[in-house]
């Protein structure tokens, strides 16, 4: 590892540990050196707070090394715009990027275009949502996932909920996009935790990560299961929707709600008791470490097949007490 690269890796860790919450400008005052690597960060909805945190951290990181690599950030208009994200990746292939760091909107649908990028000699790293293992194997590719163990994170918050329930109590699960690997892992973690606690999961609905769909799903579950004691939501957008549904039915305080992601908007709801807890999976760190894995691979001229399949990042339970 070169001296510059070693220094960059160390500072990347320090920046990520600090949280990188300051919004950074897309432009840099430094001039990118001719021939410097071109890195693309391809995200989901740029209106989502979790995605915004990733984008801001990436911009901040690039400002520290603006002379060493060029950064392009692109995202979709909605969380589920898989076709739009595929088009963005195709554009990045045509632009001859050296690396693409991708937060896939679909674990399966993005595999083919990622395979094309790799065949074009582009290093690809995923964050937030891993690509489907079986489809990767079928395409003869291996794409690193830099991110948390979603099942472990789900169990972290579900176990906290379980402490407030008793065996035989009823809960519902409001999941993300059903086909997404991270959504599946979170649902699996919720189910495992509730089974261990003897709590009955009486409803499971997919709400595609969205506030409105989360609110609608919660309203249906509350109407169909009047004895329900908890709603485990796979992200904070849906948890906020669930909290509003609980309020609308006059059951605030009687139904526990949990989220996932620890976005800023959920914190007041945790503080006032409308949401019990969430999980911080550090969006900023995922973006920084994902970019650093990609940049390191390009700088060291490593092959895609030589990269580790999984690079786990931290998780933290967030409650009113901490």
pLDDT, tens digit (0-9, with 9 covering 90-100), for 180-207:
999 999 999 999 999 999 999 999 999 9
For residue 114, the model assigns a pLDDT of 98
Superfamily assignment of 150-280 in CATH?
Response regulator (3.40.50.2300)
| Three-state DSSP string of 44-82 | EECCCHHHHHHHHHHHHHHHHCCCCCEEEEEEECCCCCH
Q: Helices 111-119 and 82-94: crossing angle, nearest 10°?
A: 0
Question: CATH topology of 3-147+283-312 equal to that of 150-280?
Answer: yes
Average pLDDT over residues 230-251: 97
Phi/psi region, residue 27 (left: phi>0; alpha: psi -120 to 50; beta: rest), is: beta
- Are 126 and 150 within 8 A, CB to CB? no
pLDDT value at residue 11 = 47
DSSP label at residue 10:
H
Structure tokens that stand for 70 in this block: 């060029």
Predicted confidence at residue 249, as pLDDT, reads 93
Q: With 0-12 CB in 10 A as exposed, 13-18 as middle and 19+ as buried, what is 101?
A: buried
Q: What ranges do the domains of the chain cover? A: 3-147+283-312, 150-280
The mean pLDDT value for 142-153 works out to: 96
Structurally, what CATH architecture does the domain formed by 3-147+283-312 represent? 3-Layer(aba) Sandwich (3.40)
One-character DSSP codes across 207-231:
-TT-HHHHHHHHHHHHHH-TTEEEE
Model confidence at 33, in pLDDT bands (50, 70, 90)? low
Burial of residue 278 (number of CB atoms within 10 Å: 0-12, 13-18, 19+): buried
Tokens of 104: 């896939």
Please tell me the distance from the alpha carbon of residue 222 to that of residue 219, in angstroms, as a whole number: 5
Q: Has residue 12 got a pLDDT over 60?
A: no
Nearest Cα to 17, choosing from 311, 258, 289? 289
> 186 with 234: CB under 8 angstroms?
yes
Mean of pLDDT values over 131-144: 96
- pTM of the complete model: 0.84
Residue 38 pairs with which residues in a beta bridge? 70
Tokens of 231: 């709603």
């Amino acid at each position: 590892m070169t001296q510059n690269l070693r220094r960059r890796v160390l500072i990347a860790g320090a920046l990520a540990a600090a949280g990188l919450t300051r919004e950074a400008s897309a432009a840099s005052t430094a001039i990118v050196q001719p021939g410097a690597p071109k890195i693309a960060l391809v995200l989901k909805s740029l209106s989502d707070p979790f995605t915004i945190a990733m984008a801001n951290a990436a911009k901040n990181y690039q400002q520290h090394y603006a002379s060493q690599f060029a950064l392009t950030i692109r995202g979709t208009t909605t969380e589920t715009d898989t076709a739009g994200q595929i088009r963005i990746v195709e554009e990045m292939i045509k632009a001859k990027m050296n690396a693409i760091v991708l937060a896939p909107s679909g674990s399966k649908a993005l595999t083919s275009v990622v395979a094309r990028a790799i065949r074009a000699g582009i290093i690809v790293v995923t964050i937030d949502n891993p690509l489907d293992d079986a489809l990767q194997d079928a395409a003869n590719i291996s794409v690193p996932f830099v991110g948390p163990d979603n099942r472990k994170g789900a169990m972290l918050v579900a176990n906290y909920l379980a402490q407030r329930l008793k065996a035989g109590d009823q809960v519902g699960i409001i999941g993300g996009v059903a086909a997404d690997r991270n959504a599946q892992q979170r649902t699996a973690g919720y189910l495992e935790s509730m089974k261990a606690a003897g709590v009955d999961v009486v409803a499971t609905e997919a709400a595609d990560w969205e506030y409105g769909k989360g609110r609608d799903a919660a309203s249906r579950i509350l109407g169909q299961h009047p004895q329900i004691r908890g709603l485990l939501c796979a992200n904070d957008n849906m948890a906020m929707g669930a909290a509003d549904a609980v309020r609308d039915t006059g059951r605030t305080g009687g139904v526990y709600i949990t989220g996932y992601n620890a976005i800023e908007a959920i914190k007041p709801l945790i503080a006032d008791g409308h949401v019990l807890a969430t999980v911080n999976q550090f969006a900023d760190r995922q973006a920084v470490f994902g970019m650093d894995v990609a940049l390191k691979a390009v700088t060291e001229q490593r092959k895609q097949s030589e990269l580790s399949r999984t690079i786990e990042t931290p998780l933290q339970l967030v409650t009113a007490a901490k």
